[in-house]
Amino acid sequence: MASTNQPQLARTVAAPQHYAPPSTREIRAQTVHRLLIGLAGLAGMLLLVSLANIIMNRAQQADGDMRAPQEVNSAKAGSDPLADIGVAPAAAPSEPNATAKAAH
């Protein structure tokens, strides 16, 4: 019923096997593979940095478009930014001239 013929998982070796160094073809194949992986990594980093640069430029352009009306308004309003936003009372128009005359 049960057979005693069991399959061998590994063949028996009569003599020890020594390390066989890779051939020049295998070494060349490994070198080319490493170069391709390195170049792909560099290309990926270049692509990532370029994409980040494009995103930053677009954000700066959008921010610049939003700031343009504010800069025009602040130039017309005067030189006191606290008075412009309403934190400090605005100086009377005659005061800057009076302080300039007193300094001379």
Asked if residue 71 has pLDDT above 80, the reply is no
Angstrom distance (rounded) from CA 43 to CA 90: 57
φ/ψ of residue 40, rounded to 5:
-65, -40
Residues written for the chain = 104
What pLDDT shows up at residue 26? 96
Tokens of 19: 């390390």
Helix (H, G, I), strand (E, B) or coil at 16: coil
Angstrom distance (rounded) from CA 77 to CA 98: 20
What pLDDT shows up at residue 56? 95
**pLDDT tens profile 15-55:** 887 888 999 999 999 999 999 999 999 999 999 999 999 99
Asked if residue 98 has pLDDT above 60, the reply is no
pTM over 0.85: no
